[in-house]
A = this chain, B = another copy of it.
Amino acid sequence: MRVVTKIGEMQNIVDDLRRDKRIVSLVPTMGYLHDGHLSLMKIARQNSDIVIVSIFVNPTQFAPHEDFGSYPRDIAGDTKLANSAGVDFLFTPEKNEIYPADYATFVDVDEITEKLEGKSRPTHFRGVATIVTKLFNIAKPHVAIFGQKDAQQALVIKKIVFDLNFGIKIIIAPTIREKDGLAMSSRNSYLTKEQRQESPVLYESLTEASKMISGGITDCLTIKEKMIKLISMKQSAKIDYISIADSTDLEEVDVLQKGGTYLISLAVKFGNTRLIDNIIQTI
């Protein structure tokens, strides 16, 4: 595995690879790699000749009051993990390499970014869209892999690729979970022991919603009330949002329709740690 820190070097490498007709994949990450990331790398490997993993804690997708400063970092550990996973290139640029002092260009996606995570974190998706556009231009992949845990991000990225004509295949990989159901996330490392014990309630509430829907309940308020009840039983949990929405345009729905596909998603704070999770269900 070769570690690359400069944009120009990364671009030259990929230009050569593409001229040699190699299929290139990119797995963009913010590092502090876990089994969820490793599953993305495995899928990348299955879909390409050359796997590039980027590690960059992207400041523009954090609001000033959020956890950019404290976001967990372990570049030495990540390098070992990526190497063991058979990654070909690890792209780990410095902040100034990506955002020089007079940086001024941003990518904005309208509509779907205004809901759910975008409502709670108004500048978040501008940051995501911008860094992903830059990473696509730097790593020039044929294929890029993202995780389903960030469901709305997945939709936003697909929209960017389609609208800006990137011609990149986007693969969304299933959420990888701990044994007790907690979706893997670098932010899980923030949890206290008590919060960690209570955190599986996110997936429990999603599973309960899924069961209710399978059992024929179509009234979203009834489903959400059950989810709220379950989560509220946990002392350290504070709900940011619970949503049942159309899985393509993220419009909130009141009554589920036969044939519809829905994104059931939530954001819950455990102390200062904000976790998200979701499932997609077709009726």
Contact = CB atoms under 8 A, between A and B. Distances in A.
B112 A159 contact: no
Interface in A80-135: 103-112, 129, 133-134
A256 interface: no
B164 A134 contact: yes
A191 interface: no
State how many copies of this chain the complex holds: 2
- Select the residue from A8, A109, A133, A166 with max chain B CB neighbours within 10 A: A133
Contacts of A112: 104
A160 interface: yes
B110 A137 contact: no
A193 interface: no
A77 interface: no
B105 A163 contact: yes
A18 interface: yes
B19 A133 contact: no
Interface string A152-167: 0000000110011111
Given A18-B19, A19-B19, A108-B108, A103 B163 contact: yes
A110 B130 CA distance: 13
Contacts of A111: 104
Interface string A6-34: 01100100000011010000000000000
B107 A105 contact: yes
A61 to B, nearest CB: 16
Given A18-B19, A19-B18, A19-B21, A134 B104 contact: no
A7 B165 contact: yes
A138 interface: yes
Given A134-B165, A166-B137, A129 B105 contact: yes
- Select the residue from A19, A165, A166 with max chain B CB neighbours within 10 A: A165
Contacts of A165: 7, 11, 134, 137-138
A131 to B, nearest CB: 10
5 contacts: A18-B19, A105-B108, A106-B110, A134-B164, A137-B166
Interface of A: 7-8, 11, 18-19, 21, 103-112, 129, 133-134, 137-138, 159-160, 163-167
Given A105-B160, A134-B163, A137-B165, 10 more contacts: A7-B165, A8-B167, A18-B19, A19-B21, A104-B109, A105-B159, A105-B163, A105-B164, A107-B108, A137-B164
List the 7 shortest-distance A-B pairs measured between CB atoms, nearest first.
A105-B163, A104-B110, A137-B165, A105-B109, A138-B165, A106-B108, A11-B167
